[in-house]
Amino acid sequence: MSLEVIILAAGQGTRMKSRLPKVLHAIAAKPMLGHVMETAAKLSPIATHVVVGHGGDLLRSYLDSSSNNRSLNVVEQTEQLGTGHAVDQAIPQVATDSVALILYGDVPLTQLQTLQDLVVRAEQGSLALLTVELTNPTGYGRIVRDAQHQVVAIVEQKDASEAELTIREINTGIMALPAAWLKQWLPQLSSDNAQGEYYLTDIIAMAAAAERRIEAIHPASEQEVQGVNNRLQLAELERWYQLQQAQHWMTEGVTLADPARVDFRGDIRIGQDVSLDINVILEGRVVIGDNVSIGANSVIKDSSVASGTVIKPHSMLDETLVGENCDIGPFARLRPGTVLANNAKIGNFVETKKTIVGEGSKINHLSYVGDATLGRGVNVGAGTITCNYDGVNKFQTEIGDHAFIGSNTSLVAPVQVGAGATTGAGSTITKAIEADTLGVSRGRQVNLKGWQRPQKKSEPL
Ligand code: UD1
Ligand code: CA
């Protein structure tokens, strides 16, 4: 049986107090809707329908940019008349012989296994509900069971009797069922209830009356079905998610100085015997080899770091490729397009951009090196600057193998320094230097014997 996913995301999310639609608020740098879409995609549905309303344009552009899924169908719900009404907007485009899985865009962390369990039961001809027992069920729809413990209805908080309010098993809102049943029952919903809404949950009583099998299954943890209504709940889920990631990486052989103070935000791969000190952030597509150590407060974004490299505290890497056994930081800033060959060394207060640093080359202190190519064994002295920008265009600097750039050299690009060449400290290099040649450009020092320091003038009366 084919599967179709319906994601409800039309709600306003007033309590976020945000211009951004609620489902675009992020957990681990990915919008909640993105988490839901990603998990749903792993079930290989033939189509995914996202019901949007508030902030529909923003949601559409997010969905366009994030997904190359041609089976994605964005459905507009212009007025938010309830969850039943929301599903009804999508249902004409759902194949009658499919199974429909209903998800919420603001419940981001449901696990694949849990959804698979629901879908399998729906394929076997059940209405499969995801429910959970809570110590405090206030606000949720309650699962009403008969004397045989069979689910017979869901009653919303605002419509519940005293007795029903004591029920602790609640509706998470996530369910799977044959689409044909939805097509049959949705038109029969009424808004004659405390909230004047078309409740999707009213189909449960219809299923019971039609003697359809209703099965309740439970998630492995409560957080899987936790919805987000405000920024406190967003932060709680973020922490839970991060702790799961931290536990995963520790079981995979990564040492974390403190599992509560490290963040994984994206598609991360880490080798063995890696150690991450506190407040390390790995973001985007990050690949870390074996035996890498990353110092406190470092941010590694969309980068790869090969085995044996040491990154000292307070370093920032963005779109950077780092070879083996490099030594980086503290306080290094490697910007997009930086490539370090093996054994390269980037010291404190060094900024690089679109720069290739050859094997064993060193830029140890206080430098800006941009739009440059350095050969092997180059030594760049403290305070070296590539003057790569004339205010309009960027120009290249090329430095040959084993060149020695004296401290405080300004390299006015485009410029080439040949292999084995040297620049004198404090030089402004504007012309190419041939191999094995000294380039120096600075005023000659003059020493004046017997020179008198100026005297302080006596104050006029
Ligand atoms: C719903 C369930 C309740 C369940 C709870 C779990 C109903 C009637 N009630 O209640 O049993 O315990 O979720 O959190 O289904 N949405 C739309 N269009 C609408 C209304 C809602 O897209 O017209 C979306 C919202 O964006 C949200 C989801 O549906 O993602 C749930 O809506 P919400 O208003 O939070 O439902 P609750 O009243 O909390
Ligand atoms: Ca809700």
The β-bridge relationship of strands 151-155 and 142-145 is: antiparallel
Tens of pLDDT along 260-285?
999 999 999 999 999 999 999 999 99
When pLDDT is averaged across residues 291-302 and rounded to a whole number, the result is 98
**Ligand 1 binding pocket mutation candidate from 33, 83, 91, 132 (most atoms within 8 A of CB):** 83
Lowest-pLDDT range, 52-56, 146-150, 303-307, 364-368? Answer: 52-56
For ligand 1, atom 38, the nearest C-alpha belongs to 140
pLDDT of residue 151: 98
Q: 357 has which bridge partners?
A: 340, 374
- Residues marked active site are found at 365
Q: 379 has which bridge partners?
A: 362, 404
* Ligand 1 atom with minimal separation from the 200 CA: 15
Q: Please answer whether residues 134 and 222 qualify as being in contact, where contact means their C-beta atoms are separated by less than 8 angstroms.
A: yes
Ligand lying closest to the C-alpha of residue 139: 1
Q: Report the b/e string of 189-201 with b at 16+ CB within 10 A.
A: beeebeeebbbbb
The confidence band for 66, taking pLDDT boundaries of 50, 70 and 90, is confident
Domains of the chain (ranges plus CATH)? 3-225 (3.90.550.10), 231-439 (2.160.10.10)
d(CA 333, CA 352): 7
pLDDT surpasses 80 at 461: no
Residues with CB under 6 A from ligand 1: 8-11, 51, 77, 80-83, 85-86, 104-106, 140-141, 154, 156, 170-173, 199-201, 227
Tens of pLDDT along 15-41?
999 999 999 999 999 999 999 999 999
pLDDT surpasses 80 at 460: no
HSE-CB for 425 with a 13 A CA cutoff = 4
The confidence band for 68, taking pLDDT boundaries of 50, 70 and 90, is low
d(CA 248, CA 343): 30
Q: Which residue type does 102 have?
A: I
Ligand lying closest to the C-alpha of residue 170: 1
Torsion of CA 249, 250, 254, 260, to 10 degrees: 90
* Ligand 1 atom with minimal separation from the 22 CA: 26
HSE-CB for 442 with a 13 A CA cutoff = 16
Q: Please answer whether residues 28 and 264 qualify as being in contact, where contact means their C-beta atoms are separated by less than 8 angstroms.
A: yes
pLDDT of residue 54: 78
For ligand 1, atom 37, the nearest C-alpha belongs to 140
pLDDT surpasses 90 at 246: yes
By percentage, how much of the chain surpasses pLDDT 70? Answer: 100
Q: Please answer whether residues 66 and 153 qualify as being in contact, where contact means their C-beta atoms are separated by less than 8 angstroms.
A: no
* Ligand 1 atom with minimal separation from the 140 CA: 12
CA angle, corner 311, sides to 301 and 388, nearest 5? 65
What's the pTM value of the predicted model, to 2 decimals?
0.92
- Residue 406 has which token pair? 């004296």
pLDDT of residue 459: 81
pLDDT of residue 56: 87
Tens of pLDDT along 395-438?
999 999 999 999 999 999 999 999 999 999 999 999 999 999 99
pLDDT surpasses 90 at 12: no
Q: How far is the CA of 303 from the centre of ligand 2 (A)?
A: 38
The confidence band for 11, taking pLDDT boundaries of 50, 70 and 90, is confident
Tens of pLDDT along 112-164?
999 999 999 999 999 999 999 999 999 999 999 999 999 999 999 999 999 99
Lowest-pLDDT range, 136-150, 304-318, 324-338, 447-461? Answer: 447-461
Tens of pLDDT along 69-99?
678 999 999 999 999 999 999 999 999 999 9
The β-bridge relationship of strands 316-318 and 332-334 is: parallel
| Mean pLDDT computed over every residue of the chain | 97
Q: How far is the CA of 77 from the centre of ligand 1 (A)?
A: 14
Q: Please answer whether residues 25 and 228 qualify as being in contact, where contact means their C-beta atoms are separated by less than 8 angstroms.
A: yes
